[in-house]
Chains A and B, each alone.
Chain A
Amino acid sequence: MEFTEKHVLGLKDLLYRMSDDLLILGHRNSEWTGLGPILEEDIAFSSMAQDKIGQSLALYQILQELGENEPDVVAFMRNAEAFHSCKMVELPIGEYDFSLVRHFYFDHQSAIRMDMLKDTVVEPLQMVARKFRGEIKYHTMHADTWMKILGAGSAKGKERMQKAILENAGLALGMFELSDYEVELSESGIFAGEQALKSTWIETVSQKLESFGFNVPDWDTVTPVYGGRKGEHTADLQPLLDEMTEVFRIDPAAEW
């Protein structure tokens, strides 16, 4: 079908929410460099951070084809309110329990989203979604492995994880804040929508959490933490962006 202006706006919104999430979470994951609980986790979080930032770059490149600015400018020159990332990815790394639960929640979302996009009518997005699926497979495997180990480990460790699972459920649901273009996205075959994504995600993570021995959040009573997709962010995003762009802003016209 012929895309109208609204279809294109919907597509851009979808691409921005995906790319901004990946950039910001990739940035956060990279903060574990040198600080992981064991060396192998340093290395794993760095690998995933590299994949995520590489994925965000590929999505910003699609946006550039749609008329947006070049990726370095888009990523490094916007203020917080122009970002479409969800609030969960913005928060500082905190302790390993929080970072691991965020990773578990986010990457299952990412895996399902890419699965839904593997047959999208937008060809460049279809291509990257297929490529990303191969990378994200290892991210979810990593998250599941650690959730499982800690679910079966010491009582103290399990308790910390359980607390993080429940406390961050609302932030996780914030990933699925509806777009203003849900109808256009689904009728055009671009994307089946946040609601469908959320249903599959709840089913997947609930089943996994249960199998790892954790109590599953009561999703129907959890209040989603929305706002991020519409440019309302936590107080943590702007400082992250200030740091990220500190060198770039010394001379944006320079080649670095």
Chain B
Amino acid sequence: MYGNTYIENSEKQNKLTANEDPKKLAEFEARIAAGDKIEPHDWMPAEYRKQLVRMIEQHAHSEIIGSLPEGTWITRAPGFRRKLALMAKVQDEVGHAQLLYSAAETLGKSREDMLNDLIKGNSKYSNVFNYPALTWADSAVIAWLIDAGAIVNQLANSKGSYGPYVRALERICAEESFHLKYGHDNVVFLATGTPKQREMVQEALTRWWPPIMHFFGPSDKLSVHTEVLMRWKVKMGSNDDMRQTFLDMYVPKIWDLGLTLPDPNLKKNEETGKWDYTEPDWDEFKRVINGDGPCNKERLAVRRMAEEKGRWVRQAILKKDSQYVAPLS
């Protein structure tokens, strides 16, 4: 899991490069166009740095917040096989946070500052984790389809321009592919199991479909213009394109299991080759991402509690002469 590329950005695009040295900017853009990777100590526009920090930080936060709804099910997983697999999966996700915070730190913001911004509510994480994982089947649907969505996003982003982020994503994608297998296997067992299991997984899928459709961010029609970010290879695909890729890969697999999706308009359009669907409720998306979802308060409260309970440990190991050092990329 769990990153998505939706960047909250209300600033006018023409301001993004207003104060940059035109010559350096031209060289920078030429490097990116040629497929070069930008490294931490290379020159970069202030806006490039800012947007990348924001994006990588959101991705890192999504990993640790995402470990909470799934973590709830580690202690409830039915049987050794599932328990061991889920523990390993969620551990991977926390490991991804570690990699991503390090990648963001190379751009000049410390992990501590990022975590403080998270618990103060100043920075976002993937909106799907503001919804509850009510049953074991929810955790299976998350592991399959949210991870699948994340892979679609992350594979695209792993072709981006910032070296440390790209390298982190390559490793993350390799691990995610196992999560996807775990999630799929889990959903298959439920969908082909007893009537009760089948009912559980259908209900979970119905519950999770709107957040899954939200996962890729608002429709391109509504999304803020991102041309510069695309040119800089910060953002690698449009929200709608990613959503189409996901639908194309996973809707047939869901239907194959005899499960249904709660959208009567969902079908592949023979003429356009694209999927038609009911436009997700973007007002709800905005409302939830801005703090008013079913679990926003709980997620941040848990994170805040963990930060507070662990503070004495972090303070105890700090030496007087310790100095902050950004991680290697």
Residues on A close to B: CB < 8 A?
Answer: 27, 30-31, 33-43, 46-47, 49-50, 53-54, 57, 71-72, 75-76, 95-96, 149-150, 153-154, 156-158, 160, 240, 243-248, 250-251, 253-256
Judged by a CB distance under 8 angstroms, whether B94 is at the interface is yes
- Tell me the bound Cα distance from A146 to B318 in angstroms: 13
Chain B residues, CB < 8 A from A31: 74-75
Chain A residue numbers with a CB within 8 Å of B194 are 251, 253-254
Do the beta carbons of B306 and A36 come within 8 Å of each other? yes
Tell me the minimal C-beta distance from A34 to chain B in angstroms: 4
Tell me the bound Cα distance from A246 to B135 in angstroms: 10
User: What's the nearest-Cβ distance from chain A to residue B54, in Å?
Assistant: 20
User: Do the beta carbons of B80 and A256 come within 8 Å of each other?
Assistant: no
In chain B, what residue has the closest Cβ to A47? B91
Contact partners of A38 in chain B: CB under 8 A: 310, 313-314
List of B residues within 8 angstroms of A36 by Cβ: 306, 310
Instruction: Tell me whether B316 and A250 are in contact (CB under 8 A).
Output: no
Q: A33-B71, A46-B91 are in contact. Are A244 and B306 (CB under 8 A)?
A: no
Beyond known contacts A33-B67, A38-B313, A244-B76: 15 more, CB 8 A cutoff: A31-B75, A33-B87, A33-B90, A35-B306, A35-B310, A43-B95, A47-B91, A50-B84, A96-B312, A153-B317, A154-B315, A154-B318, A156-B312, A247-B136, A255-B193
In the complex, 23 of the A-B residue pairs with CB atoms within 8 angstroms, ordered by the A residue number, are A30-B74, A30-B87, A33-B74, A33-B94, A34-B64, A34-B67, A34-B68, A39-B97, A53-B83, A53-B84, A57-B84, A76-B78, A96-B312, A153-B317, A156-B315, A157-B315, A157-B317, A160-B312, A243-B75, A243-B76, A254-B196, A256-B136, A256-B189
Interface mask (B74-114 → A, CB under 8 Å = 1, otherwise 0): 11111110111001101100110110010000000000000
Residues of chain A within 8 A (CB-CB) of B95 are: 43
* Contact status B78-A46, CB under 8 Å: no
Measured between C-beta atoms, what is the minimum distance from A210 to chain B in Å? 20
CB of B329 within 8 Å of the partner chain = no
Contact with A along B296-324 (1 / 0, CB 8 A): 00000010011001111111111000000
| A96 in contact with B78 given A46-B87, A53-B83, A254-B197 (CB within 8 Å) | no
The 6 A-B pairs with the shortest beta carbon distances in the complex, nearest first, are A157-B316, A37-B310, A37-B313, A256-B78, A46-B91, A153-B316
Dominant secondary structure at the A interface: helix
| B98 close to A39 (CB less than 8 A) | yes
CA A245 to CA B64, docked complex, whole Å = 26
Binding site for A on B (CB under 8 A): 64, 67-68, 71, 73-80, 82-84, 87-88, 90-91, 94-95, 97-98, 101, 136, 189, 193-194, 196-197, 200, 302, 305-306, 309-318
Number of A-B contacts (CB under 8 A): 138
Complex contact B87–A53 (CB within 8 A): yes
B71 touches A37 (CB 8 A): no
Interface pair A40/B98, CB less than 8 Å apart: yes
Q: How far is the CA of A27 from the CA of B311 in the complex (A)?
A: 24
Shortest CB-to-CB span from A240 to chain B, Å, is 8
CA distance A166 to B77 in the complex (A): 35
Residues of A within 8 A of B193 (CB): 254-256
Contact for B88 among A50, A95, A245, CB less than 8 A = A50
Are B313's CB and A247's CB within 8 A?
A: no
The residue that A35 contacts in the complex, of B77, B302, B317, with Cβ under 8 A, is B302
Q: How far does the Cβ of A122 sit from chain B's closest Cβ, in whole Å?
A: 22
Report yes or no: A39 in contact with B101, Cβ–Cβ below 8 A.
yes
**What separation, in Å, do the CA atoms of A92 and B66 have in the docked complex?**
23
With contacts A50-B87, A251-B196, A254-B193 taken as known, whether A72 is within 8 angstroms of B312 at the C-beta atoms is: no
* Given A42-B94, A96-B310, A247-B78: A158 and B87 interface contact (C-beta under 8 Å): no
Residues in chain A near residue B84, CB distance under 8 A: 50, 53-54, 57
Cα–Cα, bound, A163→B277 (Å)? 61
Q: Closest CB of chain B to A159's CB: distance in Å?
A: 10
Q: Report chain A residues within 8 Å CB of B189.
A: 255-256
Which residues of chain B come closer than 8 Å to A150, judged between CB atoms? 313, 316-317
Closest to B101 in A: A39
In the assembly, what is the distance between CA of A250 and CA of B318, in Å? 48
B94 lies within 8 A of A72 (CB): no
